[in-house]
Structure 1
């Protein structure tokens, strides 16, 4: 099995089902899942395992105690970070995703902390929604749509 290139990063996820579903997507695509604490649940919860089904044990999972620990350990280049927020200035279809991109998503109720996004306006993207009646989309659905777009972009499809 080859080493994952794209990485999914969940900052303080709150809903175990979303984390489990994203974990299953990561297994399907051979991606690393990076979780930033604190979580709104325990990774041992049945809901995480249920959403990840029997694939959870195959998730290439890395955990960090905080965003700063992640940054200090990984030292990601600025242009490898792609933040996804409901009100990002750019669409997910605009960037050319780097091979070793970090696709970063915030918690379900509040998104990404302002401190993480500070000075990163050009690195914040949104998934377009055509109907203004919808306030937001499910985190697992957005993460899946984004990762497939990033892969499509990398393949030049």
Structure 2
């Protein structure tokens, strides 16, 4: 089972759609301090007929999620480091952010992994990203080449200022010139979740 984590989601309809996707794929949904009432009409409408079947856990904050899920804590380098059963890899954590240097499709997903997404307006906490750049991944999109390349080649070919800074993940960026492309949260979750399921041999996704 894969774990989808939404950290402080803000739009009920997105969470409802993601919940429906989790039900249909047998995934567990973790909600960290959602910015809305879970009984809101927009959420119920988006997840209509599915919400009651959803395996969902709700937490007051990020630390509460880690304390309740020791394998998630271990994936971040916590004191508990459970191994996978039967020689399987221990669950890993995938932090999805536009600042990730690695593409989500270049990662390897295993049963029990955590796919973590931030709030619609600001994404994941910058401190979390800066502390774990090796866990950060991005969905490749048109216009995100600024995160995929670096140095003088980057500046000369993209027409950016040669004095580039590194962001919290170590990417070279010029924030004055870089255009940021983003996806709707429910679309982003679906893209990453289905890639993870494809790698695990989910029926119909092995093409």
For normalisation by structure 2, the TM-score amounts to 0.69
- Once the two structures are superposed, the pairs formed by residues 62-141 of structure 1 within 5 Å of their partners are 62-75=57-70, 76=72, 77-78=74-75, 80-131=92-143, 135-141=181-187
Residue in 2 that maps onto 1:144: 190
CA distance in 1, matches of 2:143, 2:5: 27
Are the equivalent residues in 2 in contact too, given 1:96–1:154 (CA < 8 A)? no
Deviation of the 1:134 alpha carbon: 6.4
Deviations 1:117-148 (A, max 9, x none): 23211111111112467621100000001000
Deviation of the 1:92 alpha carbon: 0.7
Residue in 1 that maps onto 2:201: 155
CA distance in 1, matches of 2:26, 2:105: 22
Are the equivalent residues in 2 in contact too, given 1:83–1:124 (CA < 8 A)? yes
Deviation of the 1:102 alpha carbon: 0.5
Query: Cα gap change, 1:51/1:152 in structure 2, threshold over 3 Å: closer, same or farther?
Result: same
Residue in 1 that maps onto 2:47: 52
Residue in 1 that maps onto 2:28: 32
**Higher RCO structure, 1 or 2 (CA under 8 Å, sep 6+):** 1
CA distance in 1, matches of 2:102, 2:187: 19
The secondary structure found in structure 2 opposite 1:68 is helix
Deviations 1:55-107 (A, max 9, x none): 11111110111100111121223261001011211101111112110000000
For normalisation by structure 1, the TM-score amounts to 0.91
CA distance in 1, matches of 2:44, 2:109: 30
CA RMSD of aligned residues (A): 1.6
